[in-house]
Structure 1
């Protein structure tokens, strides 16, 4: 299913009544509970699961899925990835982007010289940082702060291109 976005992972069981802990990959951890339905990668396929109950206990997200009623059933789900359909994400304002839109964009400097491809994004308190990979630059990663109008000139999402305001010196 190519329209799925991984947003978390099933953790260890919690209690004996079929509950699991959740590792959320969303910016605000509890936002994972806003997205429905969930798809779990189980037995080499994506299967739709429905939450019956959820709660936050000691800063941990805990869920119970429908038809998962005991510790043995919950253990089977441990370590499964959690995905949602991309179209269930809220619409963003202008100049806001989901990371999955930015990852794999090709990056060009202000002189239109190819810098590399965005392979990852690092979150910091001040701003996100693009991790760009290009074998031309000794296979090292290039880190560019994701600050629009300072380092980032323009983003062309349909073309998967990011134009920088700066040049990269070899």
Structure 2
């Protein structure tokens, strides 16, 4: 299971006082209002940062970090992801899963066919799992109770039922 989840990517600096424009990669950009700590993935190291101020501008979140008061201190991190630990991640409801935990999961149909979950497509109604099966090739499976029979994140396994017309 993933220990860190990406919530955004630093797209550019904002002003000269160390603020950054962040493109949110989380479902709810409003969660940045509650976020107090993030981890800057600087490549070779992970830098813990304390969020001092949050503003919103168009599709971006403007963040100010405690102790970073100059554009020169943050400019080199353009394009770098911001992460949160699993403990700081958004609480999940029943039958909800972090996408990072699903990718790479082994999938087995109720007919005994094996595959691997390659991607998750987020649609307006429900998510759609992209599963590569040995027998069928790529299959798009809607994340609905009729298709998803069991998900075991700990064992990285999912059991599915392929409705007529999916393959």
Instruction: Check if 1:119 corresponds to 2:108.
Output: no
CA deviation digits over 1:116-137, x for unaligned, max 9?
A: 1112111011111111234x35
CA contact (8 A) 2:11 2:78 kept: yes
**1:156 positional shift:** 2.0
Unpaired runs of 5+ residues, structure 2, are none
The match for 2:16 is: 16
Q: Of 142, 145, 153, which residue of structure 2 is paired with 1:145?
A: 142
The match for 1:165 is: 161
Q: CA RMSD in A?
A: 2.2
In the TM superposition, structure 1's runs of 4+ consecutive aligned residues that sit over 4 Å from their partners are 167-170
Instruction: Check if 1:58 corresponds to 2:58.
Output: yes
Q: Distance in 1 between matches of 2:71 and 2:15?
A: 7
**1:22 positional shift:** 0.5
Alignment CA distance shift 1:112-1:45 (3 Å): same
Matches within 5 A, 1:26-105: 26-42=26-42, 44-105=44-105
Give the length in aligned residue pairs.
Answer: 165
- For normalisation by structure 2, the TM-score amounts to 0.86
- For normalisation by structure 1, the TM-score amounts to 0.85
**1:83 positional shift:** 0.8
SS at match of 1:47: strand
CA contact (8 A) 2:23 2:61 kept: yes
